[in-house]
Amino acid sequence: MSLLPSGRRSRRALTAPVAGVVALLLLSGARRRGGGHAAMLPLRHNEHTAPASVLIHPSGLLDAMLAFYDVLWERGYPVAPGAAGEELDEVDRRLLSLLLSGLTDQAVAGRLGLSLRTVQRRIHQLMTKAGVHTRLQLGWHAATRGWA
């Protein structure tokens, strides 16, 4: 099930130094340049302050925020439909973690108490689940999807 309206795209950046800016820019309509749109910038708060936001009207600051958004969009990667439901069991998580740390299949099998053939079969199943063809692609997929 998609939470985005039909025709909309989403991307995920590994890091964003200003939390919430990008989503609020999109939700406010600020991506449509020109025409009196505004954006909201959430302010930091803690237990001593109330949540607050700043309304940014069309200005140089809004242009800078849009440029920042464009940079984050380019550095991000597309969110695959159904990615949220891609859960792994604990053995597969440990297997991926060991592979990403550079261990051989044989060493992973020894650490997990599995046969070499079982480790290779599970790796192949993970590659199929991720829709990738190489172990390098599997590592990238695992890192970006939070699998390991």
pLDDT one-digit tens code per residue, 64-122: 877 887 787 777 766 554 444 467 899 999 999 999 888 999 999 999 999 999 999 99
Shared-domain flag, residues 91 and 73: no
Shared-domain flag, residues 96 and 40: no
Is residue 20 a contact partner of residue 42, using CB atoms and an 8 Å limit? yes
Q: Is residue 2 part of a domain?
A: no
Burial class for 85, CB neighbours closer than 10 Å (0-12, 13-18, 19+):
exposed
Question: Which has more confidence, 31 or 108?
Answer: 108
Predicted local confidence at residue 55, as pLDDT = 80
Is residue 22 a contact partner of residue 16, using CB atoms and an 8 Å limit? yes
Question: Could you identify the residue written with the tokens 């390991």?
Answer: 148
Shared-domain flag, residues 15 and 74: yes
Q: Is residue 108 part of a domain?
A: yes
Q: Is residue 19 part of a domain?
A: yes
pTM (two decimals): 0.47
Total domains present in the chain: 2
| Domain region containing 116 | 86-145
